[in-house]
């Protein structure tokens, strides 16, 4: 039985096969409409979510399966003090696979160690968000035609943004990847990513503060929200929240074939006027997330569709 805690749980070959499957699902959705009949997905979300929870649920429904779960810790017995270890033991009696989001880093990993069903990390604190990375990789590969030989700009809250941490870990395995890390001093990438992931693997990267300076050299610009819920101090959040706003004027500095991704939700960091730019692909990215989560469910449940 396999779980998914980090994008590194899949080899590059396995990732390629998963993305191929997601592309096939996009092309021939009817072929997969009954693949999970009789199977149940539990969505255990101890933290708010729109896309991840609902796209997982849409994915399982599209596969002919069914869904149960809870959308907040308050509506589960966690509010009475139940541990994630006990909760997953119980969920293992009710469902065939579980997607779990939790504010504590490592909580889905703890759950996976007691689980009798595959557990998927749907975001753990400021740590990892591997299924967002699968959606990001599928979006980039589908729209740019490759995952190698690119300059990727990551902009915003690189300290707390778990999607950024997972995406860097996944992309360093492809040749010719360079990163431009665009953030204010206080929201720089954590040192364990800078040292243990980037420097340890000799991955070229620069750290800059001005988006305008970086944007002309990028193939992909990955914007992120300042993660209000991870700040200890409201004043710091208010000071940093509008540090970056991607506008039409800034998009004029970008290459014609650059694409803009954002895991969403967006607050102010991309002006709505950018939404009509064909390079703005963040809503397509949310659609790709359904295909890739369908592919992930099939893979972890070891269901093959001929």
* Among 2, 17, 51, 230, the one annotated catalytic: 51
Query: Cα separations (Å) of 40 from 51, 86, 119, 221, 297?
Result: 19, 19, 13, 36, 10
Nearer to ligand CP, 141 or 262 (CB): 262
Nearest distance from C-beta of residue 133 to ligand CP, angstroms: 11
Return the beta strands (E) in 86-202 as ranges: 97-102, 119-124, 150-155, 177-182
Q: Does 89 bind ligand CP (CB under 6 A)?
A: no
For residue 190, give the DSSP letter. Answer: P
* Among 40, 43, 52, 262, the one annotated catalytic: 52
Catalytic-residue membership of 101: yes
Nearer to ligand CP, 243 or 282 (CB): 282
Please report where in the chains the tokens 């967002």 appear, as a residue: 132
Q: Pick from 5, 6, 18, 52 the residue near ligand CP by CB under 6 A.
A: 52
The strand pair at 150-155 and 177-182 is best described as parallel
- Report 224-283 residues binding ligand CP (CB under 6 A): 263-265
Q: Does 216 bind ligand CP (CB under 6 A)?
A: no
Residue (of 295, 303, 29) closest to 141 by Cα position: 295
Q: Does 132 bind ligand CP (CB under 6 A)?
A: yes
Catalytic-residue membership of 129: yes
102 backbone dihedrals φ, ψ, rounded to 5°: -150, 145
- Report 97-116 residues binding ligand CP (CB under 6 A): none
- Whether the CB-CB separation of 202 and 191 falls below 8 Å is answered with no
Bind-site residues for carbamoyl phosphate: 51-52, 101, 129, 132, 264-265
- Whether the CB-CB separation of 263 and 117 falls below 8 Å is answered with no
Length of the chain: 306
Bind-site residues: 51-52, 80, 101, 129, 132, 162, 225, 264-265
Nearer to ligand CP, 108 or 263 (CB): 263
Task: Please identify every residue annotated as catalytic.
Answer: 51-52, 80, 101, 129
Q: Which residues bind ligand CP (CB under 6 A)?
A: 49-52, 123, 132, 263-265
């Amino acid at each position: 039985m396999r779980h998914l805690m980090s994008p590194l749980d899949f080899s590059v070959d396995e990732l390629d096969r998963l993305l191929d499957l997601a592309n096939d699902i996009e092309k021939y959705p009817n072929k997969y409409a009954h693949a999970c009949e009789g199977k149940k997905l539990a969505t255990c979300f101890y933290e708010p979510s729109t896309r991840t929870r609902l796209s997982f649920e849409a994915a399982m429904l599209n596969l002919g399966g069914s869904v149960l779960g809870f959308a907040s810790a308050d509506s589960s017995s966690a509010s009475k003090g139940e541990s994630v270890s006990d909760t997953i033991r119980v969920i293992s009696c009710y469902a065939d696979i579980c997607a779990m989001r939790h504010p504590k880093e490592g909580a889905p990993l703890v759950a996976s160690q007691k689980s009798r069903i595959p557990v998927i990390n749907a975001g753990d604190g400021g740590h990892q968000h591997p299924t967002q990375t699968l959606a990001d990789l599928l979006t980039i590969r589908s729209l740019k035609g490759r995952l190698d030989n690119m300059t990727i700009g990551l902009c915003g809250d690189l300290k707390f943004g778990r999607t950024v941490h997972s995406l860097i870990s996944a992309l360093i395995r492809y040749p010719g990847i360079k990163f431009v890390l665009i953030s204010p001093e206080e929201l720089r990438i954590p040192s364990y990513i800078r040292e243990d992931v980037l420097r340890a693997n000799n991955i070229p990267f620069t750290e800059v503060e001005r988006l305008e300076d970086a944007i002309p050299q990028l193939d992909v610009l990955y914007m992120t929200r300042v993660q209000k819920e991870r700040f200890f101090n409201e004043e710091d959040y208010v000071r940093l929240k509008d540090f970056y706003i991607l506008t039409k004027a800034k998009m004029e500095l970008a290459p014609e074939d650059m694409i803009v991704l954002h895991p969403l939700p967006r607050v102010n960091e991309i002006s709505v006027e950018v939404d009509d730019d064909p390079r703005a692909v963040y809503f397509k990215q949310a659609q790709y997330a359904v295909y890739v989560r369908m592919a992930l469910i099939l893979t972890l449940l070891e269901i093959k569709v001929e």
